[in-house]
Amino acid sequence: MRSFKKYYKPILICLGAVNCGTYLYYNPHFADKRKVFTSWTTNYVPPNSSKWDDNWDHRSPNSLIHPKKILNDTNNDKVVEKLNTLRSTATRHIILIRHGQYEIDGGTDEERKLTKLGCNQAKQTGKRLQQLGFPYTEMIKSTMKRAQETGTIISDFLPKVPVRECNFIREGAPVPPEPPVGHWKPEVYQFYQDGARIEAAFRQYFHRADPKQEHDSFTLLVCHANVIRYFVCRALQFPPEGWLRLSLNHASITWISIAPNGRVKLMALGDSGHMPPEMLTVS
């Protein structure tokens, strides 16, 4: 005689009130195994390329101890104690600011200075950062003229925040975009040099906090659209070739948070709601 269990159908169970939006699938056929599947993962198996790499910044505690020491050390307490000293306890917040509108017809970097509107955009962003009231650790500015001017204007609103410059976060083309764009330049002048520099900047600034860091940090990076877009893709472990699919307004705020365990959250992308509509520009 056939088992009656084979004719059982899955039951849809709603948790909470009607139209709650949260469901569980329960199949009596697997009742003996006590398996309950969430509705958003029941039939979905992510590809390997979509799985999160916990050691993306190469600072996971387990990766900082020699494997032989972990396998051969008979005193497990010492290994655990060592791992605990390598664990981060603080969160790193990286706030990326795109420069304001600038003179795109300038022949040199020095001539590509902020327009009057660009200066006003930077003022609005400086005021917004001041209102947020975060304990900013430092401001790091690209050495390009438009980023320098934008950072200087923002500093008027954050006078106590230390400022330094960095050549690595200058504008450039990080990797060939997908889908490709219509124009062409020799790769050596576009992606080959710029990509290595911008990737080096990512590795320098994007990582979990040092174990010795006791308090959360807030770092301001005043730089450029291509650099910010690439950083966002890399930090979220999205395909970096998709950087050109993102759009950022001038003087917008992008906020990335890196937790002690290395998990990354995009808190804001190109936020420019602090500016009136007539001041919004992209290029």
Integer CA distances (angstroms), 170 to 145, 178, 192, 193, in order: 10, 22, 15, 12
Predicted pLDDT at 76: 74
Domain ranges of the chain: 4-38, 53-85, 92-279
The continuous run of DSSP H or E covering 154 comes out as helix 145-155
Predicted pLDDT at 192: 85
pLDDT, tens only, 125-144: 999 999 999 999 999 999 99
Given a contact cutoff of 8 angstroms between Cβ atoms, the answer to whether 228 and 145 are in contact is no
In whole angstroms, what is the distance from residue 197 CA to residue 162 CA? Answer: 24
Judge whether residue 2 has pLDDT over 70.
no
Q: Which residue has the higher pLDDT, 253 or 182?
A: 253
Q: Which residue has the higher pLDDT, 59 or 33?
A: 59
Please tell me the pTM assigned to this model. 0.81
Mean of the per-residue pLDDT values for the chain? 86
pLDDT, tens only, 144-176: 999 999 999 999 999 999 999 999 999 999 999
Fold of 92-279: Rossmann fold (3.40.50)
Q: Which residue has the higher pLDDT, 237 or 48?
A: 237
Predicted pLDDT at 79: 74
In whole angstroms, what is the distance from residue 201 CA to residue 207 CA? Answer: 11
